[in-house]
Structure 1
Amino acid sequence: MELAGKVAIVTGGASGIGLATAKAFLKKGAKVVIADFNDEGGKQAEQQLKQGDVEVVFVHVDVASETSVEQLVATTVEHYGRVDIMINNAGVGVLGVTHELTYEDYHKVISVNQDGVFFGAKHAIKNMLKNGDGGVIINTSSILGSVGEGGAFAYNATKGAVNLMTKSLALQYAEHKIRVNAVAPGYVESGMVSKEALGDFYDALVDRHPVGRLGQPEEIAHAMVFLVENEFVTGTTLMVDGGYTAQ
């Protein structure tokens, strides 16, 4: 698929992997909707990216709310006429031992990471089916959808679910030329995953990656672009993890 002129929604698009993905898509000529719960960050991202002849707009969304996601898709269609690419990237995590995890904390992770993928896929697919010429959905998974991590019970559960949701959707909609894939990043440099924020634990994370460093958001965005452009790939979870899961 050529990205030029295509309409892409990126949830969690105000920062990190989402923002890098929005930039990568704009560079390829796509029209981008930055969707995020963080209004201030989303508006700043919109202004940052609105340079030259690109088409980008920020839309508020709470991916844990089906009504909000449905409205996001409707606003995108109203603004750009259609949805060609849906990047279900928004996510949260809660760390801690499972026997101390509250249901509220557990359910928050489920509602954002898992329900958010369901809502995003559901309403994007509705528009893609109406258009009749296919589309692409990419879900942001994680290495922790394939390997366990002590203290990340809820996050492990949701990302494992995302991997199988991806396969199921790919099989259901292949005949409609709708491809569904996932990207599973290793640990990626961000505000919360940095030497400053993590101290000595940062070095321990680096040591887990055979390439000897953490990932960069732009490297994950590059994988997103690949999965949109390569029309023979569907139903896969692409590991972009510096060798983490090869061990």
Structure 2
Amino acid sequence: MIELKTPEEIARMHVAGRFVAEVLTEIGGLADVGVNLLDLEHHARAMIRRRGAESCYWDYAPSFGRGPFRNVLCLAVNDAVLHGLPHDYVLRDGDVLTADLAVGIDGWVADSARTVIVGTAAEEDLRIVHATEEALEAAIALARPGNRLGDISAAIAAVAHRHGYPVNDQFGGHGLGRTMHEDPHVSNTGRAGRGLRLRPGLTLALEPWFARTTDRIVYDPDGWTIRSADGSRTAHSEHTVAVTEDAPLVLTRRESELR
């Protein structure tokens, strides 16, 4: 069931979105050579506690996970890309780190992810990070009344293919609002002109993620962390977006993206 939000409800989601953007900005700034993933996790916990927000990840127990998720961040390094379980790992020069965060404030949720490169950036790593960011912006531009969900999916896939990256269709974006995951599912590949017609009040988490040389995935023994099946490096970019009567409204835009 798809629930359209009123302008007032979108404004409340925007409050959560600004906080998510603030946390991810801090986490990206702290991610440096010699920093432990668990330090980033604990920093995010402290920010959430001070704000009086609620983590959408803590105790999350979907069918594909192993037991409840007992962290507030997903942190994925190099060939890991989704649902990365924070663990005792010290970041190294050249690591590719994805941080994903969803929180609720006063009953309304926002969700976002960003990928940063720690220390010295390899050109091929910069390229895949930028490709996911480009795909995300292409998807956002089409989040307008009258377009269809397939237009968004096709735009993401077109950017991936232009850069030479395959696209996985098992995990993608989703609706959200009162909870982290609502209908509809938003695939990262699809056919333009097909699917749900977009209407004002629809709120979506759009999240292109690519692996350099495969569309297949494997799970770590922890039951959560998803990696590229061939060990190639990955990237993931995500924003919460509201379809409005006018332009798409990005609820999790970071200050650095507004300059």
TM-score by length of structure 1 reads 0.30
* Higher helix proportion: 1
* Higher strand proportion: 2
TM-score by length of structure 2 reads 0.29
Structure with more contact order per residue of length (Cα contacts < 8 Å, sep ≥ 6): 2
